[in-house]
Copies of this chain bind each other. A is one copy, B any other.
Amino acid sequence: MDERQALSSFAALSQERRLAIVRALVVAGPEGLAAGVIAERMGVSATNVSFHLKELERSRLISQRRESRSIIYSASYEALADLVKFLMEDCCAGHPIIRKNVEERGGLLCPG
């Protein structure tokens, strides 16, 4: 993941509603959720959700597919994983202290 992509991803996640959308889509899994379902769950207008979905898509954190009349969105696990990796390696310079901190704080990083 290059810097431009990372900046865009951070911007996408820095908005409360968008973060909530990403969380919902991660939980929903590969099947995803229709735009309308997301709007209803969050008690937000279709217009507003659409705006944020477009923003998330622009950063590639989510993707869409059409299914009949609905447009289904789902989280991109690849992009999320890349962002974690960017944060650990590129941003944090692969700094051992940060890795150590993550581990000490019980991060789910190392299965062993």
Contacts and interface: CB of A to CB of B under 8 A. Distances in A.
The oligomer's copy count stands at 2
B107 A80 contact: no
Contacts of A100: 81
The 3 closest A-B pairs by CB, nearest first: A81-B101, A11-B14, A10-B14
A42 interface: no
A22 interface: yes
18 contacts: A3-B16, A10-B14, A11-B11, A14-B14, A77-B95, A77-B98, A80-B92, A80-B98, A82-B101, A84-B87, A84-B88, A84-B98, A85-B106, A87-B87, A94-B108, A99-B108, A110-B111, A110-B112
